[in-house]
Amino acid sequence: MDARPLDERFAEGSEAALADAIALYGQPLLRYCHHILCDYHEAQDAVQTTFIKAYDNHHRFRPGTSLSAWLYRLAYTTCVDLLRHRKRQLVTPPPVAADPDYIGEDLRRALETLSPEQRALVYSRVIEQRSFDALAVIYGKPAATLRKRYERARKKLAQALQGTPAERRSRAYETHTG
């Protein structure tokens, strides 16, 4: 077994390092993508695409930097690309309730009122409990900027979750058609 750090081995394009990265970051990235996309199957595709991109572009990764941050950045851009593609489609099927990480309809609708970046920030802060300094590395933006964006997203999400289910559906419909 190679005792060198994972980031160093990954930068060289080692398939064993890719397997180690998948084992270490696969599930956290799946949860991250799922909360951005609000669709479990699309999240699986996004994670697979992320690791393919990472392996194909291993020469762009710099040892000594955070492999985790680099992978999360790739996952974020992959999710945004999938959302753009989804927007161009006329019909999107609803999520299936049998999905293992199914997000309830009310929460899914509320999350869809947020931008992909806002969903990513909320997930990273609430579920993964990442600091704003860690998020600054992932997004390449100042921690103070991300803190303010997170606060706005949190307020928007809280507002979207207020009221009866019918009121929430009405607000979500107005957001998508307005």
Distances in Å between the alpha carbon of 126 and those of 17, 34, 91, 151? 29, 14, 31, 12
pLDDT at 165: 61
Whether residue 91 sits in one domain with residue 126: no
- Give the number of other Cβ atoms within 10 Å of residue 66's Cβ: 15
pLDDT at 171 over 70: no
pLDDT at 71: 96
The percentage of the chain sitting over the pLDDT mark of 90, rounded to a whole number, equals 39
User: Of the residues 103, 118, 144, which one is the last residue of a structural domain?
Assistant: 103
Q: Which range, of 23-27, 32-36, 101-105, 152-156, averages the lowest pLDDT?
A: 101-105
Whether residue 30 sits in one domain with residue 2: yes
Whether residue 117 sits in one domain with residue 41: no
Distance CA 88, CA 84 (A): 7
Contacts of 46 (CB under 8 A, 6+ apart): 33, 37, 75, 78, 79, 82
DSSP state of 162: -
Which helix (H) or strand (E) segment holds residue 141: the answer is: none
Per mean pLDDT, which of 19-33, 83-97, 152-166 is the most reliable?
A: 19-33
Q: What is the mean pLDDT of the chain?
A: 83
User: Of the residues 103, 118, 149, which one is the last residue of a structural domain?
Assistant: 103
- Count of the separate structural domains present in the chain: 2
- pTM more than 0.85: no
User: Of the residues 59, 84, 103, which one is the last residue of a structural domain?
Assistant: 103
Whether residue 132 sits in one domain with residue 147: yes
Whether residue 36 sits in one domain with residue 96: yes
Backbone CA torsion sign across 127, 131, 137, 140: positive
Q: What is the mean pLDDT of residues 63-92?
A: 84
